[in-house]
Each structure stands twice: as structure tokens, then as C-alpha cells.
């Protein structure tokens, strides 16, 4: 492997805490342990950039894993060694249970098929996680021959154990200090390499999805769903990278195991782990009828009841599963929660507790090309930093800088805040770091998108209370309101229900002798300067004429259109985008004028609206000769409303009932009236 600039920077920033990720793959499949156990060993012996030291370390790791991991068929060999030598050292997952008959704890070591190993009470009290799912550890297993000769004797005993953990108490401070020497893009790449992926092999959407997968590790009580195609590594992060995550495979999930055991008061998985992930969620069901309700209550408040006692926990809930069809087909036949279990599938109250619906279809299928050969943080170090970050929050970073639109309910805002906080913690582990607007806006847009995806599915089910899904935000007090959509709902050549950015207008040209009606989007940008310029190369004559007339009307009627603003002190850049065979863009003076006013006012045009109509230099409205054709095309392209000059009203007597019920037709008397009716409130 050739070290690149980021490798050298990472080695300098995080000494003794990085490891070459391709080394991990050398041991994959050789030993019956997860990735983070192998990385723990590599981090201990191979945390260096010197090839000779790495090679020596690899030999040590190979020797220790060979000596201490029990392969299938070697169980009796290790037991015999324990008997002959008095003790043996192994690496295994260790779980414990209370044996009521003897009033003592007994340990299970699955690799040796032992489930009655003695252990001191203090060891269990110091490592409570062995009572709920267990953890990997280096175990010193003793054997007492005298006890073996007793009736019902248990000769095996845990003499000592050490959790698989390389990190130290001040590890977050060390990583935060090293992060300061990297740019944001370098740190993002380092994080992706730390989970084994090469950022250059992923597109922007896939990289964003990977960061969203990390949010439950750093944000307490975070609820996430990821559904998508098979083979995209949905459960990998929760199974292989962090010992603080627990994977619940398909089948029954007991209330006692998840939350609390009523018979002995033992706390469940959500109390013991940072993240509890349900794999193949479509097959998950609870053993009790009210299991889903208990989980809904926990997902809402982070609390659940045991009798009269209310227990608080911080474990995040992640549910992953597969689509049997592609996302477009899934939306045609139902909604995106379709693969969930029946008791959750159409429950809008359950959906409302989901903070993030991660678009699993944006993640490529796992292949060897996606894996990195470069340096990244040791998984154990990364997992420990993630766990420490859960105690922090970055919600205060939004205060005064980001203002959300009126479509967000209280739960929506809470969900978005938690996602933003998690993403910012990933990018800036030091809470005192200043966060640039660009990074804050990246987190806000992503958080709004993944929450809106939940809201869209609630709307599809038919609940009126979830009808307004037009999520928006404003950066700063004087910023422009921006709307965030979910890409799977958008089509490049169709009109979405969301308002476009300020200055953009959907219009349909009525055409003429040489061409028919056609859908266009006019895009206007405003900056300091003066005049209007068209960005299209060789713009069509009819469109140039519409722009010239709109410009003159803006100057002549500035006060009634844009108030105190002085349009002559601003420069406007205009681009015409065609979405049909029509190219001329004739008779679109009013839409161009609306685009100029929208850009100057910084206010977007209403979503789902098509504006049509021409205007003369004197300000009179041009009649539209074929309004029915225009409205039918608008409906075909997905418009919800059409704004036409009042002179078109009489010509609509023959508009079919079907079209009239699907598209709202609005009329304007002059340019100022059109502006009042088309600007988003």
C-alpha cells in the first residue's frame, strides 16, 4: 500500500490509534471473532506506519489469535489443556446467568460449549453486560481437579478477564485534538476509512448515508429505520465495528430481554447497549401482545415501566430490512414502511417516533472495490469516542442560526434537532469547535430530508394531520427560505409540490404556429450590478422578447411589485430550461416577471404551481389562445394549480370534469395580482 496525504496526516494526528484496514481483511474468516476483536489485536501490535513493525505485529496477532480462539472441533483440546496446565487463555464472548439453586453466577463460553463455569460475584458486578447478551473478552480459564471429582462439581472457573478494549478514559480528548489538524473533508474521509470504506469509491449520497448510519452511536435515544436492497451492509456497522451495539436477528424479541425481566429486575438490552439493532425487521415480533406499545412508549420518552417503577434508558433503536422491489415500485404499490412487521406497518403513531428514515437504496452493494487499504482509527477507539459523545449535544449550535418552517410539528423539530446534533458531533467531536455555515446547512438539509421521508409515508396512509410535508428552513435572520425534498419523490421533468428556490418558476408556453405547448422552468439569480442577461447560448427570439418586456415592466411598476427595492441596482441572470419538444418559450412575459420579482424579494413561488401568460410593454395582459391544452399538460406534468390571465376564464367551459377536479385554476387581473397569488406565504 502507498501512503497518501491523509494517511500521513492521520498517523501524525492519532499516533498509536490507527491501523491499516486491509490488515483486518487478512484475518477475516480465519478466526471465529468479529472485526473489532481483530482490530483490537492489530491496534495493540500494529499501530504503526513502519512496514517492519507492522510485519512483526502481524506475526504476534496471528500467533495470539491462533492460540486463543477456539475453532469448531477444538473444544475438547482446549478443555484438556486447561486440565493439564491448570489454566488456559482464550478469546470468547462471555455471558452469565444467576443460578437460583446454588445462589451463584454461572458463565457460558460458547466456543467451548461450556455453560456452567464458576465466576466470582465481583467479576459479574464489575462487568454487568455479561448478564445481557455478553461481550468479547480475553479470559483466563482455570480448572480444579478436586472439584471435578465431587458429585455435580463444576471444575471450570473464570480466574480473570479483560474486556476487548484498547481505548483509555481520555480518548475523546485525544481524538478531538487530532481532528483539529484535519479539514472537514479530510476528517469525513478518515471516519469512512475507520469503518473500512474508501470514500473515493462512494458518491455523495452514499457517503451521507454512511454518516447517518453512525448517528445512533453518538446520539442517545435515537430511532432510525433503514430499508433497501439486499447486500448493502446494513447490519455490518452494528455487528462488527462496535462492542457497544447489539444485533437482534430475526425472530421473537422478548420484552424481558429488551427492557426488563419482571421476575428478577434485570435490565434489558436498551439499558446495557448504546445501540440495539433489529436485523431483518420484517420477521421481528414480540412475545407479549403489548410489546410494540412498550417499545413505542420507550421510543417516545426513553422510559418504560416495571410495575410502579419507571426506568430510563438511553439505547438507540435501529431497524434494518430489505425491499423485495425497487423504491419506485414500492411507492407505486404502497408506502416505504411496507416491509415492516404488520403491527408497525400502517401505524402512524409508531412512524412518528422514527427520527430518521435512511434511504438504503442510495447505498451501493458491498464489494471488495469499496473497501479501503488505507489507515483509519482502530474500531475500538472509534466506538469508545462515539459512546462518550452521547453525553454531549450540539442542538445549541442551531440557536439563532437556523429557523425551521411552519410545516414542522414539535416531533418533527425534535427529530431534526437530534439528527443535526448527531451529524455535528461526528464532524466536530470537540464541543467548543466553531461550526461553519456550510457544515451546519449540510446537517440541516440531511436531517430534514430523512424526517420528511417519514412524514411522506404518513401522508400516503391518508392521515390529514400529516398533509403538510413542505419542510423548509432559513439560515440566519435575513436568509431566504429553502425547501428540502426527498429525491425519490422528485422527477426532473415533473412539477413537485414543493416550492422551488426563490427566482425559479414553472411555466407552460402556449406555443404557436411552429410548435405546441411545452413545459419550461425559468431560473433567475439576483446579484449586485445592473441589467438582465440571459445565460442560454443562442436564446430563442420569442423568449428574448418576453425577457425584454418583463424587464421593462419591472422597472416601470417597481413600487407596486417590489416596494422599496430598486431593481435597477441589481443584476439578474436568467436561464430557460425546456422539458418538452417546444423550445421557443414564447409568450412567457408574466412568468419571467414573477421570477424577477421572486429573486429580488427572496421569496419562493408556491409549490406545484404553473404560471402562464404574456404581457405587453404597456403592462396589458396578452390572452392565452389555448388554455385547455395548457391545463391538461400541467396536470400531466404533476401540477396542482395553474395561474392564468382572467381573459382565459370563458374559454374553459369545455374543460373536462376530470381535469377540473385535479387541477385548481386561478386567475389574475394584472401583474401585481399575479404576484400576490403566486408567492409562497
Q: What is the pLDDT of residues 155-208, one digit of tens each?
A: 999 999 988 765 667 889 999 999 999 999 999 999 999 999 999 999 999 999
pLDDT tens for 583-622 read: 899 999 999 999 999 999 999 999 999 999 999 999 999 9
Confidence of residue 519 (pLDDT cuts 50, 70, 90): very high
Confidence of residue 126 (pLDDT cuts 50, 70, 90): confident
pLDDT tens for 273-285 read: 999 999 888 877 7
Question: Is a pLDDT exceeding 80 seen at residue 467?
Answer: no
What CATH number is given for 167-489 in this structure? Answer: 3.40.50
Percent of the chain at pLDDT > 70 equals 97
Residue 605: what pLDDT? 94
Spatial distance between the Cα atoms of 627 and 509, rounded to a whole number of angstroms: 10
pLDDT tens for 403-422 read: 998 889 999 999 999 999 99
Helix, strand, coil shares, percent, the chain, to 5: 45, 20, 35
Average pLDDT over residues 391-409: 92
Spatial distance between the Cα atoms of 545 and 326, rounded to a whole number of angstroms: 45
Spatial distance between the Cα atoms of 517 and 545, rounded to a whole number of angstroms: 18
Confidence of residue 309 (pLDDT cuts 50, 70, 90): confident
Strand partners, 665: 642
pLDDT tens for 538-560 read: 899 999 999 999 999 999 999 99
Beta strands in 219-326 (DSSP E): 223-228, 245-248, 252-253, 275-278, 285-286, 303-306, 309-312, 316-322
Q: Are strands 87-99 and 104-109 parallel, antiparallel or unpaired?
A: antiparallel
Q: What fold is seen in the domain 491-678?
A: Ribosomal Protein S5; domain 2 (3.30.230)
Identical topology for domains 167-489 and 491-678: no
> Considering only the top CATH level, what class is 74-163?
mainly beta
Spatial distance between the Cα atoms of 11 and 17, rounded to a whole number of angstroms: 8
Residue 448: what pLDDT? 96
Q: Which of 333-337, 470-474, 502-506, 597-601 has the lowest mean pLDDT?
A: 333-337
Question: Is a pLDDT exceeding 90 seen at residue 447?
Answer: yes
CB neighbours (10 Å) of residue 501? 18
Strand partners, 473: 404, 482
Residue 24: what pLDDT? 83
Contact 642, 634 (CB under 8 A): yes
| Residue extents of the structural domains in the chain | 74-163, 167-489, 491-678
pLDDT tens for 54-97 read: 888 889 989 888 889 998 888 999 999 999 999 999 999 899 99
> Mean pLDDT, the chain, as a whole number?
89
With a CB cutoff of 8 Å and minimum separation 6, the contacts of 645 are 590, 613, 621, 622, 623, 624, 667, 668
Spatial distance between the Cα atoms of 50 and 8, rounded to a whole number of angstroms: 12
Matching residue, cell 453512525: 214
Amino acid at each position: 500500500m502507498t501512503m497518501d496525504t491523509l494517511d500521513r496526516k492521520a498517523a501524525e494526528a492519532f499516533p498509536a490509534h490507527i491501523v491499516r484496514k486491509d490488515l483486518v481483511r487478512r484475518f477475516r474468516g480465519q478466526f471465529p471473532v468479529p472485526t473489532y476483536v481483530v482490530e483490537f489485536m492489530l491496534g495493540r501490535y500494529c499501530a504503526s506506519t513502519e512496514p517492519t513493525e507492522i510485519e512483526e505485529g502481524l506475526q504476534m496477532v496471528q500467533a495470539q489469535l491462533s492460540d486463543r480462539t477456539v475453532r469448531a472441533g477444538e473444544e475438547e483440546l482446549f478443555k484438556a489443556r486447561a486440565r493439564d496446565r491448570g489454566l488456559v487463555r482464550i478469546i470468547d464472548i462471555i455471558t452469565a446467568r444467576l443460578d437460583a439453586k446454588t445462589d451463584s453466577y454461572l458463565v457460558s463460553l460458547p466456543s467451548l460449549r461450556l455453560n456452567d463455569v464458576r465466576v466470582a460475584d465481583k467479576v459479574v458486578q464489575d462487568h454487568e453486560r455479561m448478564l445481557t447478551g455478553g461481550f468479547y473478552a480475553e479470559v483466563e480459564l482455570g480448572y480444579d481437579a478436586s472439584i471435578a471429582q465431587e458429585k455435580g462439581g463444576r471444575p471450570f472457573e473464570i480466574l480473570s478477564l479483560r474486556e476487548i478494549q484498547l481505548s483509555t478514559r481520555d480518548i475523546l480528548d485525544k481524538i478531538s485534538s487530532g481532528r483539529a489538524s484535519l479539514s472537514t473533508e479530510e476528517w469525513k474521509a478518515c471516519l469512512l476509512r475507520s469503518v473500512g470504506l474508501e470514500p473515493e469509491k462512494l458518491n455523495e449520497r452514499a457517503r451521507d448515508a454512511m454518516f447517518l448510519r453512525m448517528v445512533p452511536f453518538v446520539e442517545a435515544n435515537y430511532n432510525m429505520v433503514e430499508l433497501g436492497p439486499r447486500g448493502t451492509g446494513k447490519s455490518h456497522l452494528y455487528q462488527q465495528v462496535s462492542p457497544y451495539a447489539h444485533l437482534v436477528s430475526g425472530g421473537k424479541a422478548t420484552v424481558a430481554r429488551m427492557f426488563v425481566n419482571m421476575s428478577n429486575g434485570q435490565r434489558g438490552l436498551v439499558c446495557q447497549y448504546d445501540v440495539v439493532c433489529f436485523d431483518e425487521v420484517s420477521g421481528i415480533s414480540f412475545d407479549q401482545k403489548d410489546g410494540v406499545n412498550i417499545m413505542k412508549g420507550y421510543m417516545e420518552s426513553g422510559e418504560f415501566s416495571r410495575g410502579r417503577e419507571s426506568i430510563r434508558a438511553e439505547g438507540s433503536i435501529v431497524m434494518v430490512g430489505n425491499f423485495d422491489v425497487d423504491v419506485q415500485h414500492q411507492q407505486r404499490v404502497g408506502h416505504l414502511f411496507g416491509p415492516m412487521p404488520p403491527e408497525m406497518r400502517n401505524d402512524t403513531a409508531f412512524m412518528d417516533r422514527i427520527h430518521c428514515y435512511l434511504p438504503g437504496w442510495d447505498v451501493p452493494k458491498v464489494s471488495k472495490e469499496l473497501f479501503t487499504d488505507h489507515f483509519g482509527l482502530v474500531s475500538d477507539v472509534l466506538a469508545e469516542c462515539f459512546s462518550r459523545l452521547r453525553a454531549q449535544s450540539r442542538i445549541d449550535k442551531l440557536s439563532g442560526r437556523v429557523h425551521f418552517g411552519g410545516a414542522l410539528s414539535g416531533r418533527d423539530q425534535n427529530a431534526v434537532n437530534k439528527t443535526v446534533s448527531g451529524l455535528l458531533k461526528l464532524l466536530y467531536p470537540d464541543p467548543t469547535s466553531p461550526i461553519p455555515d456550510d457544515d451546519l446547512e449540510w446537517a440541516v438539509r440531511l436531517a430534514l430530508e430523512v424526517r420528511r421521508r417519514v412524514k411522506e409515508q404518513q401522508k400516503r396512509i391518508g392521515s390529514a394531520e400529516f398533509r403538510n410535508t413542505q419542510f423548509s428552513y432559513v439560515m440566519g435572520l435575513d436568509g431566504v427560505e429553502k425547501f428540502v425534498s426527498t429525491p425519490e419523490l422528485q422527477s426532473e421533468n415533473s412539477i413537485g409540490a414543493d416550492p422551488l428556490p426563490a427566482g425559479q418558476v414553472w411555466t407552460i408556453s402556449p406555443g404557436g404556429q411552429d410548435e405546441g405547448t411545452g413545459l419550461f422552468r425559468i431560473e433567475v439569480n439576483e446579484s449586485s450590478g445592473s441589467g438582465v442577461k440571459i445565460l442560454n447560448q443562442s436564446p430563442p427570439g420569442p423568449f428574448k422578447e418576453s425577457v425584454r418586456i418583463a424587464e421593462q415592466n419591472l422597472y416601470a411598476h417597481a413600487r407596486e411589485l417590489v416596494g422599496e427595492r430598486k431593481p435597477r441596482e441589481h443584476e439578474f441572470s436568467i436561464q430557460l430550461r425546456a422539458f418538452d419538444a417546444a423550445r421557443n418559450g414564447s409568450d412567457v412575459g408574466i412568468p419571467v416577471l414573477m421570477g424577477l420579482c421572486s429573486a429580488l424579494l427572496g421569496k419562493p413561488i408556491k409549490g406545484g404551481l404553473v404560471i402562464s401568460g404574456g404581457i405587453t410593454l404597456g403592462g396589458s395582459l396578452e390572452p392565452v389562445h389555448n388554455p385547455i391544452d395548457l391545463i391538461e399538460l400541467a396536470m400531466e406534468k404533476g401540477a396542482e394549480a395553474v395561474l392564468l390571465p382572467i381573459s382565459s376564464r370563458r374559454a374553459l367551459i369545455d374543460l373536462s370534469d376530470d381535469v377540473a377536479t385535479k387541477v385548481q385554476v386561478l386567475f389574475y387581473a394584472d401583474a401585481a395580482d399575479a404576484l400576490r397569488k403566486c408567492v409562497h406565504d
